[in-house]
A and B are shown apart, each in its own frame.
Chain A
Amino acid sequence: MKIIEIKNLKKTYEDNSIPVHAVNGVSLSIEEGEFTAIVGPSGSGKTTLLNIIGGLDDASEGTVTINGVEINRLSSRKLTDFRMNNIGFVFQAYNLIPVFTAKENVEFVMHLQGAKKEHREARATELLKAVGLGEMMDRRPSKLSGGQQQRVAVARALASKPKFVLADEPTANLDSKSTENLLDIMEQLNKEEKITFIFSTHDQRVVNKARRVVTLEDGKIKSDITKS
């Protein structure tokens, strides 16, 4: 089942009055349960593409349809709600709330969704256990390693039961062991829970794990390979 459909997507911005085509006519479909890596050199448009898919940035042209909803047409408020209920985000710099514990960080999105306290607590506990942090739920981010923080971010991304998770260079700040650990967890969630992951990455280890690799260059798809 197709959950993301991108048609002729373009994003142009001006750099010192010179138009820059960050994304230049990308068309792409993502099926449910995919484990896709978007790769390419710096400036190829990976992050811009991910931001547009995640509704964090506007497209200059083209459409992004998620689960049948054309998100370009949504108002800012509706788009925020749409993101909350449909998309999970994992950022390169983890971006956890430093004043909250790991558990509270995971709970917070559910709180925004209006979930009851008991439900939030139970799900946050379940997710943190799933990412191997069952013993560290009450620690604040400053008391966790980079890898552990990123695992909390993955748990947070899954807390709202999203249709898919967008991960923007999730392993860029991690050492090899943490990267391997994180990728194993995400792969396991993908296989067992059928959660769709889309990464932007430079990291060959992520590319190796991905079952589909979309390569961008100068804002265009250079190759789109699905591994058998």
Chain B
Amino acid sequence: MSKKLLYISLLAAAIVALLLPSCTPGSCFEETNAYVKATFYLESSGKADAPDSLTLLGIGRDTGAIYIKSRNLRQALIPLDASTEGCGFVMKINGVYDTVSFTYTTYLQMLSKDCGYTFYHTIDIPVYTTNIIDTITIVKSSITTFSEENIRIYY
């Protein structure tokens, strides 16, 4: 009886050990960049409306634009520079140029074991020119990896 109990236990331990998942490193499937999520609104109607064309590039970044003549873009994802407390962008909406500057505080955020760390920000009211942009309002000043609207650009 006792030995039978022991054998059953050892068998159970072996089965449980086999069922446990192995400790292999996983992969990161999360968003790891905290963008300013900017939604475009028509100033005249007050309704969300994607511009016919949007070009966006960071001031001081000669290489590459974030968007080039992008069409039907309802929400632009604007990356902030984590190494400084502010950065600026040239925004060309429907062929008209404006500049938008952000100032912010930055803090580290652990995402997960697989993805590691990212930088989150808290933005102040942006400074901008008003050639085609009418106003920019802040909806949520915390810039995270979550899918939530941060600013509204009325044009």
Do these two chains interact? no
Q: A residues engaging B (CB < 8 A)?
A: none
Q: Which B residues contact A (CB, under 8 angstroms)?
A: none
